[in-house]
Amino acid sequence: MTVTASSASRAAEILSRPVALNGLTVPNRIAMAPMTRMFSPGGVPDEDVRSYYARRAAAGVGLIVTEGTYVGHESAGQSNRVPRFHGEEQLAGWAKVAEAVHAAGGTIVPQLWHIGMVRKQGDPPYAEAPAVGPSGIRLDGTESSGKAMTQGDLDDVIGAFAEAAAAAERIGFDGVELHGAHGYLLDQFLWAGTNRRTDAYGGDPVARTKFAAEIVAAVREVVSPDFPVIFRYSQWKQEAYDARLAETPEELEAILAPLAAAGVDVFHASTRRYWLPEFEGSDLNLAGWTKKLTGRPTITVGSVGLDGDFIRAFVGEGAPVQGIDELLDRLERDEFDLVAVGRALLQDPEWAAKVLGGRLEELKPYDAAALKTLS
């Protein structure tokens, strides 16, 4: 049990350290991972959304990344219950969410989202809009009825991201996260599996990154220089967990360097298990490699606090590699700067308070039923 006490106090001490993300100081190292909820009828986040995020901020989450929220483009999404980041009523709702999170002592960024070729049947208000993407190809390689984006489409989407980012700053958010992960629109450009373009937006990794980099530059242009711009990306895609953008650090650098040059302040490297090495010959995970290659702060994510083993390590019944000490060691080595927590924070809104307060014995084992309530 001495292991427990020392792990608990070490976790409290290390995770409580503030961190600067461009002009924003986040009070500790715990971030809430973006998680779609579909609790915003008409795309308007209301009291339910406010209290959902404010509860986690009050319990110590340092940085909240909201669920993905659609930018103002007719093909951006497909559900009328996913919040939108455009429109008067929708933005008024979001302003109150930011205010509630700040009142609870937290910081918050919206995750700006365009789903691209993942779009199937759409709800109002844009039920008839086509699915759009780099080449009109779905993640499974089928062509279906998707549309390859024209230069006009690209310009419209770039403008929609920039407008949403400007709105985020205007209504009181602390930064923005651009959703470039998991096989959605930006990732469809980054990934050769969905990007077969023969113009300047397709071909080698640098060309495939051009669209995302133009979005970053357009966002950077309309927000203050110290307003943090976070870029989330992943190797894996929904429907294709084994897909990879980059097989080597050199290929990864070809993608990340133009994004950093365009103005990304922070990378959020999405993995499903944070402890897995990304490339042979090094223990670094994807966030670790991202920091090494770009010099930018990074956020790691993936099964933190979920695993039964992780909890057993907390309470001193053994110390498997994915226990808290592994995470703390990596943080201490500056491999990454923040730790995003997804499902464990759905399960237990008090998760951060328990970890930061050294009350590890109060953590509840994860139960997938938490996904059904999302309260």
User: How far is Cα 84 from Cα 67, in angstroms, rounded to an integer?
Assistant: 10
Active site residue 241: no
Q: How many residues bind ligand FMN (CB under 6 A)?
A: 22
Which residue among 343, 349, 350, 351 contacts ligand FMN (CB under 6 A)? 343
User: How far is Cα 33 from Cα 354, in angstroms, rounded to an integer?
Assistant: 18
Residues within window 92-121 making contact with ligand FMN, judged by CB under 6 A = 111
Contact segment (CB under 6 A) with ligand FMN among 31-39, 156-164, 196-204, 210-218 equals: 31-39
Residues within window 180-219 making contact with ligand FMN, judged by CB under 6 A = 181-182
Which residue among 53, 67, 163, 235 contacts ligand FMN (CB under 6 A)? 67
Instruction: Report if residue 179 touches ligand FMN, rule: CB under 6 A.
Output: yes
Catalytic residue among 70, 184, 233, 274: 184
Instruction: Report if residue 304 touches ligand FMN, rule: CB under 6 A.
Output: yes
Q: Which is nearer to ligand FMN, 50 or 182 (CB)?
A: 182
Which residue is listed with tokens 């929904």? 238
Q: Which is nearer to ligand FMN, 207 or 355 (CB)?
A: 355
Smallest separation, CB 71 to ligand FMN (Å) = 13
Contact segment (CB under 6 A) with ligand FMN among 18-26, 41-49, 189-197, 296-304 equals: 296-304
Side-chain-side CA neighbours of 215 within 13 Å: the count stands at 31
Which residue among 27, 34, 106, 288 contacts ligand FMN (CB under 6 A)? 34
**Tokens coding 63:** 């940085």
Smallest separation, CB 225 to ligand FMN (Å) = 26
Smallest separation, CB 298 to ligand FMN (Å) = 14
Which residue among 35, 148, 166, 240 contacts ligand FMN (CB under 6 A)? 35
Which residue among 342, 351, 352, 363 contacts ligand FMN (CB under 6 A)? 342
Q: Which is nearer to ligand FMN, 90 or 136 (CB)?
A: 90
Which residue among 33, 162, 256, 259 contacts ligand FMN (CB under 6 A)? 33
Which residue among 306, 311, 328, 360 contacts ligand FMN (CB under 6 A)? 306
* Interface map 356-375 toward ligand FMN (x if CB under 6 A): ---------------x----
Q: Which residues are catalytic?
A: 184
Sites of contact with ligand FMN (CB under 6 A): 33-36, 67-68, 111, 179, 181-182, 232, 270, 301-304, 306, 341-344, 371
